Amino acid sequence: MTSGSFERMWAELLPVGRSASSGGYRRFAWNSADAECRAWFEEQARSRGLTYELDRNGNQWAWLGDPSGEGAVVTGSHLDSVPDGGAFDGPLGVVSSFAALDELRLRGAEFSRPLAIVNFGDEEGARFGVACVGSRLSAGVLSREQAFELRDADGVRLPDAMERAGHDPGAIGADGDRLARIGAFVELHVEQGRYLTQGQPVGVASAIWPHGRWRFDFHGEANHAGTTRIEDRRDPMLTYANTVLAARKKAKLAGALATFGKVAVEPNGTNAIASLVRGWLDSRAADERTLDALVEEIRQAAYERGARDGVRVELTRESFTPVVDFDSPLRDRLAKLLGDVPVLPTGAGHDAGILASVIPTAMLFVRNPSGVSHSPAEHAEEPDCLAGVAALADVLEDLACQ
């Protein structure tokens, strides 16, 4: 078994980008922690004699066999994190991919197709606001022009951040030829809900809920907190707060999800009424109709409340991912191969969800005992991680060695 290789890699990555105060990770696209993770990936590739490639969008590839060969089997995930993210979301898939390859080499597997491990850049969208930037660009669902418009909270443009990190942004854009050579993509990921808390340690994904991000701008009027009468205020914080409450209530009624997890306030002074509150809505539902209706209801609630508060509300959709139904022959093949493991949907977005529109794609989920994710408390037990490695090795052997 490959536990030695998994444990060693896990221990190497564990301190990278970890905040001493929160214990969470701050590996954001093109920051220094991300660069360390990228250097680690390259080293894993080279030390195994794999062919290392950095593609035009900053995704990293480690190839066993010919990178220009047809019908490649690709596995991998991402190494970046949400603000104060957990250790497993992303890295578990990358580390398990290298460990599964080590396992297959121990088994003496003979590959009939090229095999690659990939680290997709900027999966979480923590810095530039759009998730899965690397895979979206490659699949052509985010255009080069749109990517060039993205800015972080300090106003740094995505191409400038790339360039500062030593990656030439000149070639970014769709990478259809590369994707057309891939026969199957399988992403292993820690489970992020409560579907696998009991029972088997590994499951197969059926679908990803449609989801998106919307920015609400609440424009009010800055004024003195001590001298402005309540009836004279145009306070965008009030409209924002009521919108958060409305979102929660309406999402519950719709059996869907709505989250305001990020907010920016101007001028952000304790003794000043805000002039602007900017709140980002993340909303998800089992189907697009429910999601569209929910976001429309939240929009209406915000506009109506804004009219009462003297606050102008603007709504911008920043990203959207349609429902993903993973390739059913591949999904059924994996579930059967692994011994009729659970097949479960997820509300979390993944690069696999982006690639599913262009490549037969599947996902494996590894049990997460509490279901907590996007938090330092995210966890998976080591025996379950090793079960994930063994399952991934079986899957890769089945797909790439016949």
Chain positions contacting ligand GLV, by CB under 6 A: 124, 131, 348-349
Are 127 and 29 in contact by the 8 Å Cβ rule? The answer is yes
In the complex, minimum distance from the CB of residue 349 to ligand GLV, in angstroms, rounded to a whole number: 4
DSSP 213-258: EEEEEEE---EETTTS-GGG---HHHHHHHHHHHHHHHHHHHT-EE
Q: How far is the CB of 142 from ligand GLV (least distance, A)?
A: 15
Residue 323 C-beta: closest distance to ligand GLV, Å: 14
* Residue 282 in the binding site for Mn ion (CB under 5 A): no
| Count of residues of this chain found to bind Mn ion when the rule CB under 5 A is applied | 3
Q: Binding marks (x or -) toward Mn ion, 331..370, rule CB under 5 A?
A: ------------------x---------------------
The answer to whether 188 and 93 are in contact (CB under 8 A) is yes
- The beta strand positions in 225-356, using DSSP E, are 257-266, 272-273, 276-284, 312-321, 324-325, 343-346
Residue whose CB is less far from ligand GLV, 80 or 102: 80
Q: For residue 157, what are the contacts with CB-CB under 8 A and spacing of at least 6?
A: 148, 149, 150, 151
How far is the C-alpha of 108 from the C-alpha of 86, rounded, in Å?
34
90 binds, among Mn ion, ligand GLV, none (CB under 5 to 8 A by kind): Mn ion
Closest CB to Mn ion among 139 and 301? 139
CB of 203 to Mn ion, least distance (A): 15
What is the spatial distance between Cα 167 and Cα 145, in angstroms, rounded to a whole number?
18
Q: For the window 81-120, what string marks contact with Mn ion as x by the rule CB under 5 A? A: --------xx------------------------------
210 binds, among Mn ion, ligand GLV, none (CB under 5 to 8 A by kind): none
Contacts of 51 (CB under 8 A, 6+ apart): 45, 62, 63, 64, 67
Nearest residue to the partner ligand GLV, using Cβ: 349
Residues that bind Mn ion (CB under 5 A): 89-90, 349
